[in-house]
Structure formats: C-alpha cells, structure tokens
Amino acid sequence: MTIILVKFCLLFIFNLSIYPTKILALPGDLVVMLLPENVNPRWENQDAYYFVESMKVIAPEVDVEIFNANNDISVQQRQAEQAITRGAKVLVVIAIDGNAASLIADMAKEENVPVIAYDRMIQSEHTSFWVQASMFNTGVSQAQHIIDNTKLGDTIVLLKGSPTDPNAVEIFNGQLSVIKPYFDRKERINGYESWVQGWDPIIARRAMDQALTKLNNNVQGVLSSNDGNANAAIASLIEQGMAGKIPVTGLDCTVSALQLMILGYQTQSVWRPFDKMAKVTAEVVKLLLEDGDFSSYIKGTVSNKLNANIPFIPVEHNTIVGLSGVVNVIAKDRLITRDKICKGDVAKTPFCIDN
C-alpha cells in the first residue's frame, strides 16, 4: 500500500511538471492607476472611469484604486511608493512629468512591479509599455487645420502644452513639421508662442491676453495644443469680439470643447477612444498579473529620452471639425451625450433644438 501511494505521488508530481498550473489573477491583487491632475476633466471622467469599468469585466477579482496627484510631482511619487508598499502588482501611471516619473518606474522595478505609461511617456528604461495615439500626428492635424483655414501673411498664436509633458513636445514637433515651412517662407507669421505649464487654463488665458495685446488683436489663428488651452484662448477672443472669426484647434473633445464647436468658437479638436485605451490597458494588466503572453498587443517600440526602446500599444485618433464632428464624437463615446452638451446657450442652438 505504501509503495503504491509513493508511486501515485511521484506520478502526480511528474504530470505537474508537464502541465504547469496556469497563474491566475487572485482576489485581493491590487492595481493602482495614478492620475496627473483634475484640470482636464477627461482623466477622472473618462480614462479612470473606463479603466475601472474594464477591469470589473476583465478581472473582477482584482482590486483597483485610483489616485490623483493634482499636478504635484512629489505627491505622485509618494502615491506610487505607497502603492508599492501596500503590495500593488501593477502601476498604471499618467505622469505629471515624464522625467520625474522615471523615479516611479525605477522604484517599481526594484520590487518587480510593472509600470504602464498610460497616455504620457515615462523617461525610464524600466517603463513596461506605452499606451497612446500618435501625438506627432495629432500635432500635424492641428497645424494643417490652421493652414487650411488661414491665408498668406496671416498671424498665428501658438499655445503649446506643458513643457514637462512629453506629449506636449511631440504635439509641438508635429505642428512644426507642417507650419514651420510656412513661417520660414513668411507665408504665415509666428506672432506669439508660449508653453502652458501644467496645461493650466489660467496660464493659457494669460498668454493669450498677452498675445492679443502684443499683436494689437492682429491674430488670424490660434494653434492650441489641447481643449483647455483653446477654451482659455476663446475666453480672450470673446472679450475682444473676435470669437468665431478665426480658427482655434484643440485636443480631447471635452464637453466644453464640443459646446464651443457648436457655438462656432472652436473649429477643430482631436478625439481618441478613451474606452478602447482603457480596455486594452486592462487586458494587458490582466496578462501581467497572470504572466501571460501580451506580444500580440505590441506594435513596435518607441525610443524615449534615454534611448530605451519601450513597447508601444497604439490607439487611433480622429480629427473632429464642425457639427458633423460633434455628432461623430457623440456616436462613438457613450460618456459624451447630447444631454451633457446641450446646456446653457448651447441648448438654444439649432443643433440642440432640431436634434
């Protein structure tokens, strides 16, 4: 009897070596998403919402926690450290500052915690993945819209993003690839150019006011890198009686931006499927927790400032122009509804009355 039992145990162990037990995400596994700020409503209202929703479907046994650093780099680093100390298995980080966030990725690496750079690149060789649309092409589409809607000799104001956000630099590089030749040939005039620290609309408004003062309102286009900057610029233009008379670009298709597009004040924005970004991130998180194969998600690599080749998970982006563009966003993003858009003065427009 004893001999038979030993043989059975040996056979069982042998079979386990041939058919290893699949690693599964476990109840109580912790995943933490770190948001950069609440100046842009998309982080909490769309990205975090969709990520939590996707994780509930894809890995319902996993605990997901969201923290917002409110544009404080030290707070974001402390949130990451606390998450790792509490046993987080994966960090999804939207960096305030791509350089400073390298400390997060390096610290996580020491504890074998993968770090996904969501939306904004983290300048560390230990960044596990980057999930984003092409920010360069986003800038290209913004600048092309300005070129297409201005004429020879027109003066342009450039409201760039935050200098600490690597996306802002990529957007600007994309813009320059289109508009710089026009500046060089004097076919368009670079009247005023400013970075907007922290993507802060207050800073953007101040910059736009200064531009209009310097140029004596001789401005025929605003090349704005996101919707927050655009909103601030339009507030300045309204004050000067210029709103709706010149093209203004943006990025993110916020409710406020879509309202301004209906009113004719903002003429362009760029939409990305935040639900798809969040879903693919959640899928990769689950694979990381289960030591699964995620190679099918990787579509090449992107070199960051350290020349580290970071695996890239791309998402689409769409240029949104005019009322048809607003309709397109409403159709594609279920968190953007007519009820949310059709408020205040916008509710009185034909777009809201007739639809």
Count of domains forming the chain = 2
Mean residue pLDDT of the chain comes to 91
Report percent pLDDT > 90 for the chain.
Answer: 81
Residue 25: Cβ-neighbour burial (10 angstroms; 0-12, 13-18, 19+):
buried
- What does the pLDDT read at residue 235? 98
- Phi/psi for 345 (5° steps) reads -65, -30
pLDDT at 7 over 70: no
- What does the pLDDT read at residue 28? 78
| Cβ–Cβ under 8 Å, residues 249 and 223 | yes
> Which structural domain, as residue segments, surrounds residue 51?
30-133+273-314
pLDDT in tens, 269-288: 999 999 999 999 999 999 99
**Residue among 220, 176, 230 nearest 199 (CA):** 230
Report percent pLDDT > 70 for the chain.
Answer: 92
**Same domain assignment for residues 79 and 126:** yes
Tokens, residue 214:
């310097």
**Same domain assignment for residues 216 and 346:** yes
**Same domain assignment for residues 83 and 178:** no
**Residue ranges in the chain assigned as alpha helix (H):** 2-18, 42, 49-58, 73-85, 102-110, 135-148, 166-184, 201-214, 227-239, 255-262, 274-289, 322-332, 338-341, 350-353
**Same domain assignment for residues 61 and 81:** yes
Higher pLDDT, 19 or 40: 40
- What does the pLDDT read at residue 26? 57
Higher pLDDT, 40 or 31: 31
**Residue among 116, 51, 119 nearest 89 (CA):** 116
Tokens, residue 274:
């935040």
Query: What is the rounded distance in angstroms from the CA atom of residue 250 to the CA atom of residue 136?
Result: 14
Report yes or no on 6 lying in a domain. Answer: no
CATH number at residue 191: 3.40.50.2300
Q: Which residues contact 148 (CB under 8 A, 6 or more apart)?
A: none
Tokens, residue 271:
């939409």
Q: What pTM, to 2 d.p., does this model score? A: 0.83
- What does the pLDDT read at residue 306? 86
